[in-house]
Structure 1
Amino acid sequence: MMEESQMYKKLLVIAAVDVIAGNVDLLSEILLRLPTKSLIRFSIVCKLWCSIITGMQFRLSHCRSLAFSNAISPSGIYFYNCLTYQKIISLPLADNATSLPPLPLLDQFINSSIGGDTVTEFKVTQSCNGLLMCIFTASTTRITIKKGIVYNPANGECCLLPTYKKCDQFVYYNLISDPSEPPYYKVLCVTRMGYGYSDIDVSVYVPKSYSWRSCCHFSAPRMAFDSGVFWNGAIYWISKYSSFYFDVKSEKVAEISMPPRPQGGFTQKIRYFGEWGGHLHLIQVQSRYAKKFNVLELDKDTWKWSVKYHVHLAQLISTFPEMVQQTSYGIQYAFSILSVIRGEKEEDSVLLLTIPGKVVAYNLVLKTAKVVRELPGEVVDTVFFNQVCAYQYTESLVPVSEWTVGPEKSSYQQLSKTSEFLLEKGDLLGTSSEYFFKDA
Structure 2
Amino acid sequence: MAVDIITARSADVIGSIDGLLMQIFVRLPVKSLIRFKLVSKHWKSLITSHHFSLLRYPRPNPILGLVYPRRKSSVFEYIHLDVSNPNKPPFRELKFPGDSFWYGIQHSCNGLLLCCSSWNDPCYGMSPIRSCYVYNPTTKCSTKLPLPGVMNGVPENVYGVNLAFDPAKSPLYKVVCVRDSEFAHGLFQIEVYSAESRVWRVSGEPFSATNCFDHGVYWNGSIHWIRYWPNKLLYFNVNEETFGNMSLPATMSVREIISYFGEFCDHLHIVESCVAQKIFDVYEMKRDYSEWFVKYRVDLTTAAAAFPDMAYVNELINNIWFPICVLTLIRVEEEGRFILGFADFW
Q: Give, in angstroms, the shift of residue 65 of structure 1.
A: 4.0
The 1:352/1:344 distance shift into structure 2, 3 A limit, reads same
The 1:326/1:159 distance shift into structure 2, 3 A limit, reads farther
User: 2:328 aligns to what?
Assistant: 339
8 Å contact kept, 2:172–2:196: no
Task: Identify which of structures 1 and 2 has the higher relative contact order when contacts are C-alpha pairs closer than 8 Å and 6+ apart.
Answer: 1
**Whole-Å Cα distance in 2 between the matches of residues 16 and 344 of structure 1?**
46
The 1:237/1:22 distance shift into structure 2, 3 A limit, reads same
Picking from 221, 225, 248, the partner of 1:237 is 225
Whether 2:79 is the aligned partner of 1:90: answer: yes
Whether 2:114 is the aligned partner of 1:133: answer: yes
Picking from 133, 136, 144, the partner of 1:152 is 136
User: 2:240 aligns to what?
Assistant: 250
Select the structure that is richer in strand: 2
**Whole-Å Cα distance in 2 between the matches of residues 58 and 86 of structure 1?**
27
Whether 2:265 is the aligned partner of 1:277: answer: yes
Provide the aligned length of Structure 1 versus Structure 2.
Answer: 325
Unaligned runs of 5+ in 2: 121-125
Which runs of structure 2 are paired with 1:67-216 in the superposition (5 Å)? 70-80=58-68, 88-93=77-82, 94-95=84-85, 97-106=87-96, 108=97, 112=100, 119=101, 121-138=102-119, 145-146=128-129, 147-164=131-148, 165-166=150-151, 167-182=155-170, 184-193=172-181, 199-216=187-204
**Whole-Å Cα distance in 2 between the matches of residues 183 and 46 of structure 1?**
17
SS at 1:41's partner residue? helix
User: 1:293 aligns to what?
Assistant: 280
8 Å contact kept, 1:323–1:333: yes
**Whole-Å Cα distance in 2 between the matches of residues 209 and 242 of structure 1?**
33
SS at 2:333's partner residue? coil
**Whole-Å Cα distance in 2 between the matches of residues 220 and 276 of structure 1?**
29
8 Å contact kept, 1:187–1:205: yes
Structure 1 range deviating more: 25-34 or 312-321: 25-34
SS at 2:290's partner residue? coil
The 1:236/1:289 distance shift into structure 2, 3 A limit, reads same
User: 1:377 aligns to what?
Assistant: none
**Whole-Å Cα distance in 1 between the matches of residues 246 and 61 of structure 2?**
27
User: 1:348 aligns to what?
Assistant: 337
The 1:62/1:172 distance shift into structure 2, 3 A limit, reads same
Which runs of structure 2 are paired with 1:280-429 in the superposition (5 Å)? 280-285=268-273, 288-325=275-312, 332-345=321-334, 347-354=336-343, 385-386=344-345
CA RMSD of aligned residues (A): 3.6
The 1:34/1:57 distance shift into structure 2, 3 A limit, reads closer
Q: Give, in angstroms, the shift of residue 341 of structure 1.
A: 1.5
Letter in 1 for 2:156: D
8 Å contact kept, 1:53–1:59: no
Letter in 2 for 1:152: N
Letter in 2 for 1:314: T
Whether 2:42 is the aligned partner of 1:59: answer: no
SS at 2:17's partner residue? helix
Picking from 22, 26, 32, the partner of 2:17 is 26
SS at 2:128's partner residue? strand
Q: Give, in angstroms, the shift of residue 349 of structure 1.
A: 2.3
8 Å contact kept, 1:76–1:100: no
**Whole-Å Cα distance in 2 between the matches of residues 278 and 77 of structure 1?**
16
Q: Give, in angstroms, the shift of residue 208 of structure 1.
A: 4.9
The 1:326/1:204 distance shift into structure 2, 3 A limit, reads same
Q: Give, in angstroms, the shift of residue 123 of structure 1.
A: 1.3
User: 1:381 aligns to what?
Assistant: none
Letter in 2 for 1:280: L
Deviations 1:159-184 (A, max 9, x none): 12111214231331110112134462
**Whole-Å Cα distance in 1 between the matches of residues 222 and 23 of structure 2?**
28
| TM-score under structure 2 length normalisation | 0.79
8 Å contact kept, 1:148–1:173: no
User: 1:397 aligns to what?
Assistant: none
**Whole-Å Cα distance in 1 between the matches of residues 54 and 88 of structure 2?**
26
**Whole-Å Cα distance in 2 between the matches of residues 294 and 15 of structure 1?**
65
**Whole-Å Cα distance in 2 between the matches of residues 105 and 257 of structure 1?**
39
Letter in 2 for 1:353: F
Q: Give, in angstroms, the shift of residue 282 of structure 1.
A: 0.6
Letter in 2 for 1:235: I
**Whole-Å Cα distance in 1 between the matches of residues 277 and 158 of structure 2?**
33
Q: Give, in angstroms, the shift of residue 21 of structure 1.
A: 5.3
SS at 1:61's partner residue? helix
